[in-house]
Amino acid sequence: MPTLTPCHADRGGDRHGPRSQRCLMIYGLYLSTAGARAQSLRQDVIANNIANVDTTGFRRQFAIARERLDQQSENGKAPPVEGNDPRNMGGGVNLAKTCNDVSTLGPVKPTDSQFHMAISGPGFFRIEQDRKTYLTRNGAFSMASDGTLLTDDGRGKLLGIDGGPVKIDPTLPFDVTGENKVMQEGRHVGTIAVVNPRQLDSLEPHGESLFTYNGFDKPSDSKIMQRFLEGSNVEPVNEMTDLIETARAFELNIQMVQLQNDTLSQLVGQVPSPNP
pLDDT tens, 238-249?
999 999 999 999
203, pLDDT greater than 70: yes
275 domain residue, yes or no? no
59 domain residue, yes or no? yes
pLDDT tens, 152-186?
999 999 999 999 999 999 999 999 998 999 999 99
The β-bridge relationship of strands 149-151 and 117-119 is unpaired
Domains in the chain: how many in total? 2
Residue 161's SS3 state is coil
Angle among Cα 101, 166, 151 to the nearest 5 degrees reads 50
Residue 156's SS3 state is coil
d(CA 24, CA 255): 17
Max intra-chain CA distance, the chain? 99
276 domain residue, yes or no? no
Same domain for 165 and 216, yes or no, is yes
d(CA 73, CA 81): 12
Same domain for 244 and 265, yes or no, is yes
Q: Which pTM value belongs to this model?
A: 0.77
Same domain for 44 and 70, yes or no, is yes
Same domain for 52 and 159, yes or no, is no
Residue 133's nearest CA partner among 214, 70, 45 is 214
What secondary structure letter does DSSP report for 81? S
Same domain for 19 and 115, yes or no, is no
Residues paired with 108 in a beta bridge:
230
264 domain residue, yes or no? yes
d(CA 203, CA 212): 6
Average pLDDT over residues 268-272: 71
Domain span including residue 61? 5-103+235-270
159 domain residue, yes or no? yes
